[in-house]
Amino acid sequence: MSFNQQFDQHGAWRREFALRLKLLSEWMKGHDLLNAAVEERLLRLESQVRSDKVMVAFVAEFSRGKSELINAIFFAGYGRRIMPASAGRTTMCPTELGYDADSPPCLRLLPIETRLKPQALMEWRMVPEKWTRVDLDVNDPVKLSKALEKVAEVRHVTQDEARALGFWHDDAPQDNPRVNADGLVEVPKWRHALINIAHPLLKQGLVILDTPGLNAIGAEPELTVSLIPQAHAVVFILAADTGVTKSDLAIWREHLITEGDDNDARLVVLNKIDTLWDALSSPAQIQAQIDRQRASSAEILGLPVAQVIPVSAQKGLVAKVTGDDKLLQASCLPGLELALAQGVMGQRQKILRSAVAAGIVELRAEAGRVIHIRRRDLAEQMIELRGLRGKNDSVIKHMRSRIEQEQAEFNASGAKIQAVRSIHLKLLREVFHLLGTPTLKTELAELTDALKQPGIKLGVKKAYGQTFARLREGLQKAQTTSADIQRMLGGSFKQLNAEFGFSLQAPKEPEMSRFLVDLEQIERSHLQYLGVANILKLAQPDFSERLVRALATRLRVVYETALGEVELWNKSAASQLDAQLKERRKNFSRRIEAIERIQQAATGLDERIAEIAAHERALDELDGKLDVLTDQLVHAPASLHDPALAAPAAAMIQAA
């Protein structure tokens, strides 16, 4: 199965899964099993599954056939090249291809001059008026291809301008672009490009990141410290006729590999194997040459040979367009698509299924507690009512008086419950402070000052180390405080359970360890960037400011996510208490209503006992249906081809 087919199946799986979650939410709401926290958890799960993005980054030095490979894998269906892929330099600026249903098909281009300002790329995304927009006709492949040629546009500037923009380095003259007869230097016209088109794969959440060569990557710190590290797969392209060159190795070491990284998410493509196809050599000799180049590249890059895949992107594209199966097999493109499909799709689905399973188990437990309370309340009412058989009116009046007294005592206990909430919120405020934006800004202040110092920054690694040590300490403190809150909640809930017969259980506290892992990954990517190769770039104040802004943007995402987890945890505890208070108040009302009916009619007692028995049976059925629905989500098959998932979601809910 090709990458396109596998991704298509993954998209259909996600849509069906998201629909099941939505229908489960509606079913639970219809049976009054949704409190605010359960509803938010379901909405988050549905949104996560429905809008999950998969980013594949293609990274290479110039002229390695990177854009041609993107055309061959993703755009062969257009019957021609869509991304510019002529000889020489084509994609001059980093280009993201994705889909946003709220925007028309368009190409947005950020002028290269924005590099002279300190804002990070993420900040520029929030200022659409600063981008040049080109509308795209996705129904005309020729016009679409012509419009996308703009990503290859260049400007000619003086050496001083090139230096200010990050494309001219006095310390590495061998890497500088050529100076033309007028003394000008060729640089990209655009800093970043965003392509929004309704390609089937992009509509299903695929994001393609096409990055230019070493010089352009090095000048844009956000690529190395943010975008590329967050890609779910990185495809690094080499040329089969040259193997690993010096500039290839520089990209690999400086921008793609950091200590502790998961290299399984890195695929190396040995492209242009057709340049080794030689009429004077036998197929066995040609294959031996490809195998040698493959083994050599794997050894230099420190990867298993299986992660270096020989391909001819150009022949693969031609084969797909012309329907030449023999040429397609010779291009080895299906092997690369299979590796991408199994690696990326398998991993994403595993992560999604794990997240959904954990969330479903938690909400099943919360809904189960509501059912348990209802069942216990019905049992108490049944005992009360059966105890009234054959009793006179004064006994029934006494029973009503006792229920009203219990109700009054329960209402008076609100102060105790409010005290629990108050202590809980006081401790939570400390966690909110530790994870808040002002705290993050304060922790980054010292590093920002160190990077703003003029000249070569010899102490910048130390400043990074100290900053991340403080950030880790803050997250660990948040974890400790969360554990204190958890213990306090456990004790308070236990006391309330004993006093009022609740079945409260403190929800699982947020796990900060995964955010500590995120911190470590961010720190590694930045420390890798502070190597000798970039020491002179760091001497430039504007470059350093862009670097620290990129860091702040990425850290903000981590901290906002952690804060969201804490807020959901708080809501889960509060909603659980609110739900049980609501059920208890309803129970008092139902008990008093039953007594009134018994007082008014002689047959009222038997009718009410029969009603309660019917309610008990209905609760048992409800509990069973909830088990069926949640089990089907937790243990859902990974493929739509499985009959268990092939059945429409609506039919599943209806059957339950």
Confidence of residue 382 (pLDDT cuts 50, 70, 90): confident
Per-residue 3-state assignment (H helix, E strand, C coil) for 433-469: HHCCHHHHHHHHHHHHHHHHCCCCCCCHHHHHHHHHH
Confidence of residue 316 (pLDDT cuts 50, 70, 90): very high
Average pLDDT over residues 637-645: 50
Average pLDDT over residues 345-369: 78
- pLDDT tens, 38-85? 788 788 888 878 777 888 889 988 888 888 999 898 888 888 888 887
Confidence of residue 315 (pLDDT cuts 50, 70, 90): very high
In this prediction the pTM is 0.73
Average pLDDT over residues 426-453: 85
- pLDDT tens, 256-288? 875 555 566 788 999 999 988 888 888 899 999
Task: Evaluate if residue 115 carries a pLDDT over 90.
Answer: no
Q: Which of 162-176, 215-229, 489-503 has the highest mean predicted lDDT (pLDDT)?
A: 489-503
Task: Evaluate if residue 137 carries a pLDDT over 50.
Answer: yes
* Span of 218-227, 483-492, 621-630 with lowest mean pLDDT: 218-227
- Residue 24 CA to residue 50 CA, distance in Å, equals 15
Task: Evaluate if residue 519 carries a pLDDT over 60.
Answer: yes
Backbone angles phi, psi at 240, to 5 degrees: -65, -30
Do the Cβ atoms of 574 and 421 come closer than 8 Å?
yes
Q: For domain 53-153+189-331, which CATH number applies: 1.10.3210.10, 3.40.50.300, 3.40.50.620, 3.40.50.920?
A: 3.40.50.300
Average pLDDT over residues 316-320: 94
Whole-number average pLDDT of the chain: 82
Give residues with Cβ within 8 angstroms of 55, minimum separation 6. Answer: 206, 207, 208, 209, 230, 231, 232, 233
- pLDDT tens, 180-217? 888 898 888 999 999 999 887 788 788 889 887 766 66
Do the Cβ atoms of 8 and 204 come closer than 8 Å?
yes
CB-CB neighbours of 151 under 10 Å:
25
Strands lying side by side in the sheet with 308-310: 132-135, 106-111, 190-196, 95-98, 206-211, 54-60, 233-239, 266-271, 308-310
**Cα angle, residue 588 at apex, residues 586 and 591 outer, rounded to 5°:** 110
| Domain spans, the chain | 53-153+189-331, 421-579
Which is nearest to 209 in space by CA: 97, 101, 118, 317?
Answer: 97
Higher per-residue pLDDT: 415 or 589: 589
Output the pLDDT for position 645.
Answer: 47
Average pLDDT over residues 399-421: 79
Confidence of residue 236 (pLDDT cuts 50, 70, 90): very high
DSSP 508: P
Task: Evaluate if residue 89 carries a pLDDT over 60.
Answer: no
Higher per-residue pLDDT: 417 or 186: 186
Task: Evaluate if residue 496 carries a pLDDT over 90.
Answer: no
- Residue 384 CA to residue 336 CA, distance in Å, equals 71
Average pLDDT over residues 549-570: 87
Output the pLDDT for position 310.
Answer: 95
Task: Evaluate if residue 431 carries a pLDDT over 80.
Answer: yes
What percentage of the chain exceeds 90 in pLDDT? Answer: 16
Helix (H) or strand (E) segment spanning residue 309: strand 308-310
Q: Which of 114-128, 346-360, 440-454 has the highest mean predicted lDDT (pLDDT)?
A: 114-128
Residue with tokens 């209402």: 411
Confidence of residue 398 (pLDDT cuts 50, 70, 90): confident
Residue type, 313: A
